[in-house]
Chain A
Amino acid sequence: MTNLVILPIIIPLLAGILVAFFPRKLSIVRKIAQAVFIGNLVIAGYLFYYVKQYGTLILETGGWAAPYGIVIVGDMLAVTLVLTTNIIAVACAFYAPKSLSDQQESYYFYTFFFMLITGVSGAFLTGDIFNLFVFFEVLLMASYALIVLGNGKVQLRESIKYLLLNLFSSMLFVTTVAFVYSVVGTVNMAQIALRVQEVDQKGILTTIGILFFFVFATKAAVFPLYYWLPKSYSVPNPVVSALFGALLTKVGIYSIIRVFTLIFTNEPGLTHSLFILLAGLTMLFGVIGALSTNNVQLIIAYNIIPAVGFMLMGIGIFTEESLSGTIYYLVHDMVIKGVLFLLIGAIVYVAGTSDLRKMNGLIHQYPLLGWLFFLASLVLAGIPPFSGFIGKLLLMRGALSQEEIIIVITGLLSSLLILFSMMRIFIGAFWGEKDSNSSAEHKSTRAFAWPVAGLLTLSVTLGVGAEWFYPTIQSIAQYLMSPEIYIDSVLKE
């Protein structure tokens, strides 16, 4: 039954439509959201198992064969990311009722949440470049609504920037799709890849490739195009920031991986060396940003950027080892960014401020929160037993085998600075004498702690049980290195 592969897209869509009929019956809507996300996680898990067992699953929607209709391609990379997306969605669904006010929830929060997951899953699963654009718009529309939810003054200001920039990059996306259509005459990714190979990627196609890179780099916050991200990700509600930080930039990275391992692979000297350069700059500038501020939400938001740099570096080096590093890091980073934004939300809630200088000695009252944050910082920075380490190790080994020494040094340096920026939060907020007058009342953080602890457990398992996950990741990297498998399975030749 090939319809299995589309279920992670239409189940959230259907649920989002249904809860839009009664947005104010919050107790029912919350139950529905949690139940649907758990059900969707089970289905995504089954899809993952099925694809791992029986190979790529392809759905030709409407019964039209590959280059003519829209295909939904569930290969290992896509289903792994869909599974990770759904894990984060479950955690956020349980975190949301505590984090949002009733009024915010009743303004269609869950509908937009469902639409966001629909868009993200759709972008991962589609095999058609214009359909990818449509799913980008689905998730961006939902994110526009989520970013202004609660309509604070600062949210309105940041949402205008966010909207303008994403609108511009979407326009560039459409233009680029038009270019690619005019050159190769198709929008099906497999057929584009086939035709680009046939004409050996002439100058115009490399130009189009770079244009695609700029579109996706804007979404993914790569070096010259990241300036919109930190502020607009730090102003919405923590649960919204967690969804954005964990999912949205990763869709951009996924698209770069897809386009530059499948379609534009014939000029690596030009495109991929540009990636390495930009990856290094992204790491450095992101981490400098993280060190520049005392706003804890902004520090976490800036920490998205060096992670994007690491993933881009793996694509730039383009060996099997570095690509498996990129994919490992991608999955790891989705989970850990979810954890960190949710944790920071809890910290800001108990401290009543997001200014690091005004926090002190929280560990006396909230030991669980403190140690969770400490663990999450170690995971993020890549301390050996945890998942950040495995991804970075693979990336560094890949880079060393290609003798890209400068990027290795940049990566290690930025890891050190990431750890420093995280420890600044830990020391500033949790250490110190117990402050008797300011934070006298003890606020319950249990509802915050469980979703976070669940995600963090997964993240730790991802690192400690690396031997268990690594063969899967490695097989994905092998698969990505030989695009003809994808082309043959879609076009059935």
Chain B
Amino acid sequence: MRIRTNDLILRTTTSIIAFILLGFSLYLFFAGHNKPGGGFIGGLMTAAAIVLMYMAYGLETMKKILPWNFRYFIPAGLLIALVTGIGSFLFGQPFLSHTFAYFQFPLVGKTELATAILFDLGVYLTVIGITMTIILTIAEDDEEPASNVE
């Protein structure tokens, strides 16, 4: 048996830093249209926040907090991205045509909403799904060898 170490400092800072990371990743995701950022880097940053939680709290706790199978994020993200492209068929436009409009919102005021953000959402989910699948598959591999058969 390994001696249980007390990683109070790591866990306390993680619970703060992980939220800052998640917030920053969402900022990057939405900033992508006009500033550096976008679905890819936003997804990677979100995955980094989750990996930080996993390192501090271990696999069991993390599965309790985030009880999703990240493997389904990959097809879900691809589906969103593809359906955004196919959506233009309904309006008789070529594949992957995008459109935008301006809306008035109570807090932020006049905002440009583009369908490209939906495509980016697909990229975002796919990147999270792939990163987490890779890391968790390798992590689970030596802990419980039988689990990869499911």
Residues of A in contact with B (beta carbons under 8 Å apart): 1-3, 6, 10, 13-14, 17-18, 20-21, 24, 59-63, 72
Contact = CB atoms under 8 A, between A and B. Distances in A.
B71 to A, nearest CB: 8
- Chain B CB within 10 Å — which of A18, A20, A59, A60 has the most? A20
15 contacts: A6-B95, A13-B78, A14-B82, A14-B86, A17-B79, A18-B79, A20-B75, A21-B72, A59-B95, A61-B95, A61-B97, A62-B95, A62-B97, A62-B98, A72-B95
B28 interface: no
A330 to B, nearest CB: 27
A63 B82 contact: no
Nearest to A62: B96
Nearest to B71: A20
Contacts of B79: 14, 17-18
Instruction: Tell me the dominant secondary structure on chain A's binding face.
Output: helix
A418 to B, nearest CB: 42
Contacts of A13: 78, 82
A427 B131 CA distance: 52
Contacts of A21: 72, 75
Contacts of A17: 75, 78-79, 82
How many of chain B's residues touch chain A, expressed as a range? 10 to 19
B137 interface: no
A3 B82 contact: no
Given A10-B82, A10-B86, A13-B82, A63 B75 contact: no
A66 to B, nearest CB: 12
A20 B74 contact: yes
B104 to A, nearest CB: 27
A3 B95 contact: yes
Contacts of B98: 62
B15 interface: no
Interface in B62-101: 72, 74-75, 78-79, 82, 85-86, 89, 92-98
Given A17-B78, A20-B75, A63 B94 contact: yes
Interface centre among A2, A17, A60, A61 (most CB of B within 10 A): A17
Contacts of A6: 95
Given A10-B85, A10-B86, A21-B72, A63 B93 contact: yes
B75 A3 contact: no
A61 B82 contact: no
B89 to A, nearest CB: 6
B124 to A, nearest CB: 16
Contacts of B72: 21
B89 A3 contact: yes
A2 B96 CA distance: 13
